[in-house]
Amino acid sequence: QVQLVESGGGSVQAGGSLRLSCAASGYTYRPFCMGWFRQAPGQEREGVAAIDRAGRTSYADSVKGRFTISKDNAKNALYLQMSSLKPGDTAMYYCAADGRFAYGDTCLYRTPADWGQGIQVTVSS
């Protein structure tokens, strides 16, 4: 059974940094896409950053230059380094993965098949 477990969330002041981690298990193949999505109260879920099987990355315009997505295939892990955090980054962050064929920006904009439980990130001003 596929499982995605996030860690590393919490509260930070504006301008600070956090690193989210996601441990993936149960996959018998390497997903074509892995990514981070977020949803703030009263807002729609949005793609934050994604990485495809070849390592190509995509970012939402709102986080470009501040967030960095990476993965460690040997550890079946996905990471999101968040810097220069803003109150507008406050949301529940979800790790997601998809075994359907895709690459590049499609990984950021297509709803993934598999989701973690989510982890809260709160940025105070």
Cβ 14 vs Cβ 36: under 8 Å: no
Token reading at 108: 């950021």
Tokens of 111: 């709803």
pLDDT tens digit at each of 125 positions of the chain: 899 999 999 999 999 999 999 999 999 889 999 999 999 999 999 999 999 999 999 999 999 999 999 999 999 999 999 999 999 999 999 999 998 999 999 999 999 999 999 999 999 99
Place of tokens 């499982």: 3
Under DSSP, is residue 23 helix (H, G, I), strand (E, B) or coil?
A: strand
